[in-house]
Amino acid sequence: MCGIAGIVSLGDTSLENQVGAMIDAQAHRGPDAMGIWTDDRCALGHRRLAIIDLSEAGRQPMSNDDGSLWVTFNGEIYNFQELRLDLEGKGHHFRTRTDTEVIIRAYEQWGIDFLAKLRGMFAFGIWDQRKRQLLLARDRVGKKPLFYTQAGNRFLFASELQGLLADKSIDRAVHLPAIDAYLTHGYVPAPYTAFRGILKLPPAHYLTLDVNPEGMKIGTGRYWSLNYAPKLRIREDEACEALREKMTEAVRLRMISDVPLGAFLSGGIDSSIVVGLMAHLSDRPVKTFSIGFKEAEYNELDHARRVAQKWSTNHHEFIVDPDALSILPRLVRHYGEPYADSSAVPTYYVSQMTRQYVTVALNGDGGDESFAGYERYLGNYLAERMQAVPGVASAAKALSRVIPDSINPKSRMRQAHRFLSVASRPMANRYARWLTYFQEETKPGLYSREFISELGGLHDGWLNSVFAELPRSEPPLHPIDVAMAVDVVSYLPYDLLVKVDITSMANSLEARSPFLDHEVMEFAAQLPVEIKVRGRQLKYLLKRAFADLLPPENVNRRKMGFGVPVGEWFRGPLRGLLYDQLFSRESVNRGYFQETEIKRLVDEHLEYRADHSFRLWNLLMLELWHQEFIG
């Protein structure tokens, strides 16, 4: 796991110093070593977190035998040993034990088609001197980030926005449509960033930059997508056996390491399965790490301890309290653009604690999106069923007016109210409503006239286009499959995976996710929904296939999610911070919002008349980002 950067230029001669500043800004991603390589057109930089082959032979940037190819690589190729054997059989000779060298040899052998052969998480740049071509690529689901910009006669790329912004000539102008997207979703989806001139390469994509005397030509392409049809014809017991085999292999591959490793353990189904498989595959106790809160309704430590005791792990815990929010400015700097998932705070602290003991940590990310773990998936299915019966959807909407909302974000009453109020809407609109902070109908009252004018008016939400771009199938996909497919290309890569990459790498920790193995995901996507969900029981197949690894008390409890009690913190120790930031002169003068609407949201929340905790956190993080990067 590392930090990478690079520059391609048509005439600049100080490339080494420039790329040096870019990788220095990402030193936290690779504290073990640094390297720079340049020729007359390209400079590649690398910060190394040594995981495989800790010797000097593993240093990057790395070249092929004649120096015509150079690579800077961030991530892990889990099938590198298998690929190496294949390449050796084709006449290639290796100087190191690294997966980095496998990338170079695979590119020599197969060209750009080698991307489909990689099994892992990655972002890399390859400079081909003969072609005068730069190739950038990201892994299938977006575990590893990659940003780029073209500024005049220069093209720059880096693992983090900090790397690009280390170059003072890069324009920091705010991209207002990205701010609108952030306020809607809590993140900025690719290809955009919060900066007008900087883009992010989407997951499962590659970019080519061809350089010639006349200029630079950029091309992009997609090399993978997840298919939910046709469905496998498979018995339930066969599905359990196949899933057990695939997950065991995915965990085994991610335990290959020349440095100590452990696991995040939340007490949920997914991380518990990973820890159980690690215990079976290891000849020593697994090191596990959990995070908790003083507020009981957010605390899962008892469930994590139950799993730790079952497998006699070497277990560690950390309690997050409001004082822990002193790290907010640091998080804002690391994310580089506005990011509104408050669970980044505990994820940062569990990463910090974990790094004191190990360099690699496995986690349960991705289990929900492949095996139907979110209650909104059932809600999406139920709403479609209701709409098929004349009169039922309109009756549900009327009932929503009778059922009171609740200020408790975990209340079943609130959940029922949210479901019934949108059950009659089209699927894309309904699902977006469950996943957004500020909905389209609320924005005219929130945004100032000036902001709306600069945006060029209000537009349909980004998730509508995600739904529209889903592949059509016959028969149509099950509503639960549709919801999972949308999450895999939106919520998963731009919220969850960004959170874990930034918080773990800020602590020089590598996070690995067996459930995000593309072979596991492809198998899960082609399973019939009826095998993954049984009645109202989510993750039915997962629970049955791994029943022996899970404490019975953990299996059927309600999913808690990785929530943070920011609502109560805003009413208590963070009250002053909220007022100071949202009503500062700088915030008001920025002119994005109608001040009276911001005051209404704050007052209703503080006076227990409504729960606006997520919206207020969204606004707070936007303001802190402006202060850090825009001024």
Write the pLDDT tens digit of every residue in 364-416: 999 999 999 999 999 999 999 988 888 776 777 767 676 777 677 767 777 77
The residue annotated as part of the active site, out of 2, 5, 44, 378, is: 2
pLDDT, tens digit, for every residue of 529-587? 999 999 999 999 999 999 999 998 887 766 656 578 889 889 998 899 999 999 999 99
Mean of the per-residue pLDDT values for the chain? 92
pLDDT, tens digit, for every residue of 202-218? 999 999 999 988 889 99
* Residue 210, beta-bridge partner list: 133, 217
pLDDT, tens digit, for every residue of 306-353? 999 999 999 999 888 767 678 899 999 999 999 999 999 999 999 999
pLDDT at 556: 75
Please state the rounded mean pLDDT for residues 226-255.
Answer: 97
* Cα distance between residue 99 and residue 258, in whole Å: 13
pLDDT at 559: 64
DSSP string covering 425-471: S-HHHHHHHHH-SS-GGGHHHHB-HHHHHHHTS----HHHHHHHTSP
What are the CB-based long-range contacts (under 8 Å, 24+) for 190-194?
190/493, 190/494, 193/147, 193/161, 193/336, 193/337, 194/336, 194/337, 194/338, 194/625, 194/629
- For the chain, which residues make up each domain, given as ranges? 2-222
* Residue 447, beta-bridge partner list: 593
* Cα distance between residue 363 and residue 354, in whole Å: 12
Active site residue 2: yes
Q: What are phi and psi of 90, to 5 degrees?
A: -95, 10
DSSP string covering 593-614: B-HHHHHHHHHHHHTTS---HH
Pairing between β-strand 198-200 and β-strand 120-128 as defined by DSSP bridges: unpaired
Pick from 95, 105, 97: nearest CA to 52: 97
Burial of 213 (0-12, 13-18, 19+ CB in 10 A): exposed
pLDDT at 400: 65
Which residue is it, tokens 């390491």?
Answer: 257
pLDDT at 560: 58
* Cα distance between residue 25 and residue 27, in whole Å: 6
Ordered strands of the 154-158 beta sheet? 33-38, 42-48, 2-9, 154-158, 147-151, 198-200
The yes-or-no verdict on residue 502 having pLDDT over 90 is yes
pLDDT at 557: 67
Report, at the CATH architecture level, how domain 2-222 is classified: 4-Layer Sandwich (3.60)
Read off the tokens for 434. Answer: 């469950």
Write the single-letter amino acid at 526.
Q
